């Protein structure tokens, strides 16, 4: 009898413990889902934001850190979440240049009104892509113009020397100041982190679909690629997070070089110039960046990635 009673007590305790754990996990999962797909929570204030507004009010002074980020219509919430993650972990005077399409400006302003993110909104003029994306209407639909915004950094920030570019699908867990302070090798237009470097994936949580080497994107059987002398199995770099020296970028005409490859590629849509896969074509900027920066991968300071919120 007593043994049975003890068993029952233990059982009840176990059930309670289980329920507590389950509850906590569900809460976490909930937060996670909201952050993963904030658009589903459109109109609601994310836990992220309330937290940020009440506890983390920081007076941001000192040298400006320009951060360029894109805001596609269907991912406005994600962009705001990415920006909040930066503010949350840094006291630096971060000023965002948010590149978006004209049609999204009003909606974006609404999102931003709930935050105190320092920002300017830059309207991405689609004319800039004329002749650089295929004219075939079926293909045009697949084009996500803002993914190419990073090619035009000096157009958005003509005065800046050093800027950070971030994809809208990242969550930054370290202090962005450290990323900004990382040096860019003299003569290089940008510092990237290698995808294969496990440390580089720690501080920044990237979106899915991330692949690790050139061969995942480029077709090494194509003549145009062979000529470049790239090695197929070299680790690619993460083009979603980088620090750029725009002085050097302009001197090396990086934008024109990228445009040159885009134009060639657009004209040869049928005979894909260097894409590994037809379905990748014009959806992603990686191949162009890999070609231009192939010999110039210089890692961002990895310390940036070693800070975890516990």
Q: Which spans of this chain sit near ligand NAG (rule: CB under 6 A)?
A: 102, 161-162, 184, 186, 245, 247-248, 252-253
Q: DSSP letters of 170-234?
A: -EE-S-HHHHHHS---TT-SEEEEETT-GGGGTSEE--S----BGGGTB-TTSHHHHTTT--TTS
Residue closer to ligand NAG, measured from CB, 46 or 244 = 244
Shortest Cβ 102–ligand NAG spacing (Å):
4
Shortest Cβ 280–ligand NAG spacing (Å):
28
The H or E element spanning position 292 is: helix 286-292
Shortest Cβ 250–ligand NAG spacing (Å):
8
Residue closer to ligand NAG, measured from CB, 31 or 161 = 161
Shortest Cβ 106–ligand NAG spacing (Å):
6
Residue closer to ligand NAG, measured from CB, 28 or 253 = 253
A 10 A CB-CB count for 33 gives: 12
Residue closer to ligand NAG, measured from CB, 55 or 63 = 63
Shortest Cβ 301–ligand NAG spacing (Å):
13
> How many whole angstroms separate alpha carbon 90 and alpha carbon 180?
12
What is the widest separation between alpha-carbon atoms in the chain?
Answer: 86
Residue closer to ligand NAG, measured from CB, 101 or 172 = 101
Can you list the positions of beta strands (E) in 55-185?
Answer: 64-71, 93-100, 119-123, 162-166, 171-172
């Amino acid at each position: 009898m007593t043994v049975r009673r003890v068993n029952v007590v233990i059982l009840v305790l176990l059930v309670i413990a289980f329920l507590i754990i389950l509850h906590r996990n569900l809460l976490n999962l909930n937060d996670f889902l909201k952050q993963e797909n904030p658009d589903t929570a459109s109109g609601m204030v994310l836990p992220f934001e309330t937290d940020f507004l009440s506890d983390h009010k920081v007076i941001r002074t000192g040298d400006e850190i320009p951060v360029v980020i894109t805001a596609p219509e269907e991912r406005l919430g994600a962009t705001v979440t990415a920006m909040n993650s930066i503010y949350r972990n840094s006291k630096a005077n971060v000023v965002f240049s948010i590149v978006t399409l004209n049609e999204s400006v009003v909606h974006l302003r609404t999102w931003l009104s709930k935050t105190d993110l320092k920002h300017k909104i830059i309207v991405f003029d689609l004319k800039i892509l004329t002749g650089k994306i295929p004219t075939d209407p079926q293909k045009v639909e697949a084009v996500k113009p803002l993914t190419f915004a990073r090619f035009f950094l000096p157009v958005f920030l003509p005065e800046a020397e050093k800027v950070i570019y971030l994809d809208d699908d990242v969550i930054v867990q370290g202090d962005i100041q450290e990323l900004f302070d990382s040096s860019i090798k003299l003569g290089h237009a940008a510092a990237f982190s290698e995808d294969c470097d496990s440390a580089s994936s720690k501080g920044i949580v990237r979106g899915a679909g991330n692949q690790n080497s050139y061969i995942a994107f480029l077709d090494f059987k194509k003549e145009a690629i062979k000529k470049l002398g790239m090695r197929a199995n070299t680790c690619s770099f993460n083009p979603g997070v980088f620090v750029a020296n725009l002085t050097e970028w302009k001197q090396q005409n990086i934008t024109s070089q990228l445009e040159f490859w885009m134009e060639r590629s657009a004209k040869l849509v049928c005979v894909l110039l260097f894409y590994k896969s037809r379905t990748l074509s014009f959806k992603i900027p990686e191949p162009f960046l890999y070609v231009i920066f192939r010999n110039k991968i210089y890692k961002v300071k990895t310390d940036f990635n070693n800070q975890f919120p516990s």
